[in-house]
Amino acid sequence: MILKRLSSKLLSSKSASLGRMARIGLTIPTTLCTALMLAALTFNAQAAEMFPFVLPWDDATAGATDVSAWLEKPAGRNGFIAAKNGHLFAGDKRQRFIGVNIAFGANFPTHADAEKVAARMAKFGINCVRFHHMDMQGTPAGIFSKDGRTLDAERLDRLDYFLFQLKEHGIYADLNLHVSRTYPDLPASEKEGSPNFDKGVDNFAAAMIALQKDYARALLTHINPYTKSAYTDEPAVAFIEINNENALLDEWRNGGLDHLPVPYHAELSRLWTDWLKTTYGSVENPPAGWATGAHSIGAELLKNGDFSHNFESWNLEQHEGAAAQIKVSDGVLRVDVQKTGAQPWHVQFNQAGLHFQEGETYTASFRARAATPRKVSVNASMAHEPWTVFGSKEFALTPEWSAYSFTFAASGSDDRGRLSFSGLAVAIGACEVADVSLRIGAVDGAVPRDSSGVFTAFTRDEVASHTIAIQRDWYRFLWSIEERYWTGMKRFLREDLHAKSLIVGTPMGWSPFPIQEQMDVIDCHAYWQHPRFPHKSWDAEDWTVAPLPMTGAADGGVLPRLALQRVSGMPYICTEYNHAAPNPYSAETFPLICAYAAFQDWDAIFAFAYSHRLDDWAKGYFPSFFDIDQHPAKMATLAASAALFLRGDVHPAAREIVATVPLETVINTARASGPRIASDAFGVSPLTAFLHRTGIRLGSTADLPSAPSPDGSKFTSDTGQLTWDTDDKVVTIDTPRSKAVIGFAERRSYDLGGIGIEFGALKQGFGIVQLTVLEGADFHSARRILVTAVATAENTGMQWKDVNRDSIGSQWGRAPSLVEGVPAKIRLLPGQTWKAWALDERGQRREAVPLQDNTLEIAPAHKTLWYELVAE
């Protein structure tokens, strides 16, 4: 793309940029101002073409991009990782982790490959590996033998040697137990209706829990012949995770247990009956309070739900370029989506003017079909900011007319509510809807029993049609079963197997924090622009990844959500994080998460994933949404980002804002809104996370902070080191040893503590420049600096499906990967003279780059993402 500009326009643009700098209080030295203004007349006029840049899979050479010296070797030399004062420690030293996930067959490299992969990881500052999805398949991509029960000896040997090599290079392990195994407790023919991977069911089904224990015992008590210790006794194993993204409360609330096979439904019903007997002493005479509030179905709340008056009282919404047409005929509403949107809700139709009362039961129903199978989300919510949802359910439409309904207890109250049919912008095509109804639902004051006297377990919709007293008892029952599962598994690992590593349950969002804080560590997961599959899950051809940057997002993207659910006083780790490829802005991934994780003072962050591939390391390009090992823009930023987090260049927040909430309040909130409980539910604005450290904790009484929503468009951390700019969509990092500009910085100039950075033309207007002091206490005394300059990356031959640039289907392209060089002028501090080199893909000096007036000009012509500066 050629970007035209005239010198006079550029000069005006630069003046405006300098003005912006002045308005936010940055000091602009006169010499720097003059230099930047003069340079504006001659600087790069257009973005250059992309060039090959492949980071060798087996490279561990020393150089400016090698930060392996920051890792203590061997891992575990100071004993087991311990939780102290709310953080992780190795001996008496605070420990942080920048980790990666290894998935499926990549868990089992050959011995020769294991040595090279471990060394390469260490070079980039990776100091923990999470072993994930080992349990889904049999050999060779999984750890099980063909019987699905015993461990395969050859795969186990590969795992052992890999862990040994990681340990030698200063890299710890995080061993996952259940991730994606479907348990062999029953024949497959008898498990129809069970959720994927038996999620939720394995929190209560005794046979599945026994199989989990068998696997843990076989894996963890096995002696690794290379380290000469069992994994229960191996200090290089930092964490043992019980069950990934899997919890009873979450699976039940999502409807995953609505169609349980008979044996599991019967087992859950027996547990429910036993809980009632224990709680009330007898179930022959149900509690009198159960009947309070029972009533019959109410009157219709919608207008024109039969579309007899065309589209009257309904509203079609189309956002940010998404497009659809509405047509009503014979009482049938047809929505024809002609252009998809970046978000599913960018096409929706709704009716506003509704009143919702917290705790009241509502029943929504309709008939629908779709020309091709698709999903639609029906939501009861506010019709205004902050668009809070009070009840929601997703339905899978087929070409045949079907009747759909769901009953929900409203999680909040609002006089300006609406009922919406959303999620339509995911795929082009038509769907038809008829006979839409919303009524106050009938409420039953009795719990159903079968002929033997056993109380029947509720589905999600069923419980909403019962009184509040019954709903509360049912939710307390589920809570107690889930809590028993997690504490029981932890006790088994500690007391029966004598495991000494820190124990992780499952991430926040799946299980409520009062349950998970009974583990050793609190975990979380987050993805920016996770791929969406409009028709079939994980369809390799039919998916989209919205081409949106998170940098400067008005709502902060996923970072506030992560920060607000931290449990104060406990170690906090994020074991899955990524900005999915082929999003052209995904170079922002590590600079953003590392900067704000350091500011929030978290303890570990893990990229998902390093690789999913079996014995396929030398790809030369990135072949999937998540693998980073061959993604040049992501890998190139790791060393500089490790300085932000591992080395601690970004300082923790000066102030902490925490919501203290009683347990009963948390339980009631989770029952109404789901198990993800964070401090924003109790008055903390999400954007506060850019100003101060945030979190939540339990207390005997409520202590809710009075932290008003921050104003303006720039949010500067209370340390002064980070600024999140929602207008310019730029993030700046200004610390004594690290400086960075991330975002839409094209033809803009920045002053970071006297270091000047001026960007030239960029293909998308988006780029990143990071400066990292490698030798010296700060930039004033620096003897060696790494410059990382990254923009977008793609593969040779990668083919976008259309102008939306949100999908390539299976056309990921081939080697070599291609990158965009960033044109920029970097003016260093006065008083020193420097030599500079452009570095090759191994971080080795390839060619000298001259400096003029203490200014380094980097350019695409150097065909690199890295530069090294050495003081003379």
Q: Strand 323-329 to strand 361-370: parallel, antiparallel, or no bridges (unpaired)?
A: unpaired
Q: CA-to-CA distance for 722 and 40, rounded, in angstroms?
A: 26
Q: Which residues contact 35 (CB under 8 A, 6 or more apart)?
A: 756, 827, 853, 855
Q: CA-to-CA distance for 538 and 809, rounded, in angstroms?
A: 11
| Residue (of 302, 309, 321) closest to 366 by Cα position | 302
* Assigned CATH for 315-440: 2.60.120.260
Q: Which residues contact 222 (CB under 8 A, 6 or more apart)?
A: 151, 156, 230, 231
| Residue (of 722, 770, 752, 718) closest to 596 by Cα position | 722
Q: Strand 767-775 to strand 784-790: parallel, antiparallel, or no bridges (unpaired)?
A: antiparallel
Do the Cβ atoms of 88 and 602 come closer than 8 Å?
Answer: no
Could you state, in chain order, the average pLDDT of each consecutive group of 10 residues for the chain (872 residues)? 30 32 33 37 55 98 97 97 97 97 98 98 98 96 94 98 98 98 95 96 98 98 98 98 98 94 97 95 84 94 96 94 94 95 91 94 96 93 92 94 94 95 93 97 92 92 92 97 98 98 97 98 98 91 95 96 97 98 97 98 98 97 98 98 98 97 95 92 94 96 82 95 98 98 98 97 97 97 98 96 93 97 97 95 97 96 98 94
Q: Given this model, what pLDDT does residue 356 score?
A: 96
Q: Which residues contact 94 (CB under 8 A, 6 or more apart)?
A: 87, 88
Angle between helices 7-23 and 30-39 (to 10 degrees): 150
What is the residue whose two structure tokens read 């570095």? 839
Let me know if 8 is exposed, middle or buried by CB neighbors in 10 A (0-12, 13-18, 19+).
Answer: exposed
Structure tokens at 109: 């490299």
Q: Domain spans of the chain? A: 7-54+715-871, 76-252+483-645, 315-440, 656-713
Task: Answer yes or no: same fold for 76-252+483-645 and 315-440.
Answer: no
Q: CA-to-CA distance for 354 and 407, rounded, in angstroms?
A: 16
Radius of gyration of the chain measured on its C-alpha atoms: 28
Check whether domain 76-252+483-645 has CATH 3.20.20.80, yes or no: yes
Q: Given this model, what pLDDT does residue 706 score?
A: 74
Q: How far is CA 684 from the centre of its chain?
A: 21
| Residue (of 869, 867, 864, 342) closest to 633 by Cα position | 864
Q: Given this model, what pLDDT does residue 39 score?
A: 39
Q: CA-to-CA distance for 375 and 370, rounded, in angstroms?
A: 9
What is the residue whose two structure tokens read 């090279």? 116
What is the residue whose two structure tokens read 């260490």? 122
